[in-house]
């Protein structure tokens, strides 16, 4: 199965009203899709997210010429080389080659990995809570309320980008919606110091519905995370930007996190991602993949969770949820798979078990003009 050609699809959408987190506001959503086609006619799709001019040039001038003529079955070696050039590009190639191998055997991705432990996976609605409006809290509350009405029982909101008192007022209003039926995640995007992060525990002790506290501190300091973890009454999660399974080890060895959050695009591909999932199980902790940036990476995260043994022997404990972007992002519609009552059924067709919407792709092709990320 030689690689015959590679098609690229840089996609761009200008958001009607900017939204964001502690790192700033997003004005555009972008997505870079690739389709690898073999001489046998089998194909596979991959995805990454980065500054479109850079990633487009990298694929056309270096990655595509390198891949043409190679054997699609040499996935590990090919991805390892590309990872030295660009980690996210390697993730896209990894996805596409994995799908090709599954299709060649006429089996699903999960069957390629040995089958599933779960037929459906819970997801949580992931919000970018801030807007440029003076009334951002009311806008956020309305959006959260509407999303809960659609069947989501787990939600993630942003903190850390406003004054503590303002964020607290926001969270308290959300808790009034229906705290008994809703589970809440607070994501600070590494914006606090130790003292500020600890302020939240005054409220955590009265909130029984907090799933976890996400990245309150910079993740490059496992010792501080270990200290903070020992003083909080809720789990701590983090690690979305960590680039390999090996890089998670300092946090795991020092018992710094309750939940790790690898991202397929950041760890450089499917195989490193799956190694990280298994690493969490070896250390006896939970893992909830970060999958905000793309529909294919989210789908592979669902596959990974479906093929992962349970984290606990306790009866009734579910597999950990996967992130589901609910913000304005047309690329979420590239694949028709959607949650129902906060869960997603795992497709079992050959490859990823789903077709990408080619009309949507054509409608959002980037024209090469300059834009701000």
- Residues 86, 103, 154, 158: which is the catalytic one? 158
The long-range contacts involving 252-257, CB below 8 angstroms and separated by at least 24 positions, are 252/279, 252/280, 252/283, 252/285, 253/222, 254/222, 254/223, 254/225, 254/226, 255/226, 255/229, 256/222, 256/223, 256/225, 256/226, 256/229, 257/225, 257/229, 257/285
Q: Is 27 a catalytic residue?
A: no
Query: What is the edge-to-edge ordering of all strands in the sheet holding 130-131?
Result: 43-48, 24-38, 3-21, 130-131
- Residues 83, 156, 162, 290: which is the catalytic one? 290
The two tokens of residue 335 are 């694949």
Neighbouring CB atoms inside 10 A of 360's CB total: 14
For tokens 């669902």, the residue is 302
What's the full length of the chain, in residues?
A: 373
Backbone phi, psi, residue 255, to 5°: 50, 45
Q: Is 290 a catalytic residue?
A: yes
Report d(CA 163, CA 303) in Å as an integer.
38
Report d(CA 251, CA 245) in Å as an integer.
11
- The residues that are catalytic are 158, 290
């Amino acid at each position: 199965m030689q690689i015959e050609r590679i098609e690229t699809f840089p996609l761009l959408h200008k958001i009607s009203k900017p939204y964001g987190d502690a790192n700033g506001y997003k004005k555009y959503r972008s997505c870079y899709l690739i389709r690898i086609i073999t001489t046998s006619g089998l194909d596979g799709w991959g995805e990454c997210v980065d500054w479109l001019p850079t990633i487009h040039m990298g694929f056309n001038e270096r990655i595509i010429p390198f891949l043409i003529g190679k054997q699609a079955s040499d996935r590990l070696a090919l991805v390892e080389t590309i990872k030295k050039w660009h980690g996210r590009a390697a993730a896209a190639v990894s996805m596409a080659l994995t799908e090709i191998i599954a299709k060649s055997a006429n089996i699903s991705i999960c069957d390629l990995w040995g089958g599933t432990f779960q037929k459906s996976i819970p997801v949580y609605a992931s919000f970018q809570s801030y807007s440029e409006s003076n009334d951002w809290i009311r806008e956020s509350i309305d959006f959260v309320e509407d999303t809960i009405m659609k069947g989501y029982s787990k939600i993630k909101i942003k903190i850390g980008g406003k004054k503590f008192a303002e964020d607290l007022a926001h969270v308290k209003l959300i808790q009034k919606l229906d705290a008994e039926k809703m589970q809440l995640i607070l994501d600070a995007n590494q914006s606090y110091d130790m003292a500020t992060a600890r302020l939240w525990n005054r409220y955590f002790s009265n909130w029984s519905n907090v799933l976890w506290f996400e990245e309150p501190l910079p993740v490059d300091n496992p010792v501080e995370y270990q200290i903070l973890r020992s003083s909080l009454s809720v789990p701590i999660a983090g690690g979305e930007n960590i680039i390999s399974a090996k890089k998670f080890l300092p946090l795991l060895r020092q018992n710094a996190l309750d939940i790790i959050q690898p991202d397929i695009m950041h760890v450089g591909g499917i195989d490193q991602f799956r190694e990280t999932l298994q690493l969490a199980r070896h250390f006896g902790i939970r893992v909830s993949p970060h999958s905000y940036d793309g529909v294919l990476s989210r789908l592979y995260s669902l596959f990974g969770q479906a093929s992962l043994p349970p984290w606990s022997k306790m009866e009734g404990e579910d597999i950990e949820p996967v992130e589901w972007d609910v913000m304005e992002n047309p690329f979420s519609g590239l694949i028709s798979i959607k949650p129902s009552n906060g869960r997603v059924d795992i497709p079992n067709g050959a490859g990823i078990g789903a077709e990408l919407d080619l009309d949507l792709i054509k409608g959002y092709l980037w024209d090469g003009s300059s834009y701000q990320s």
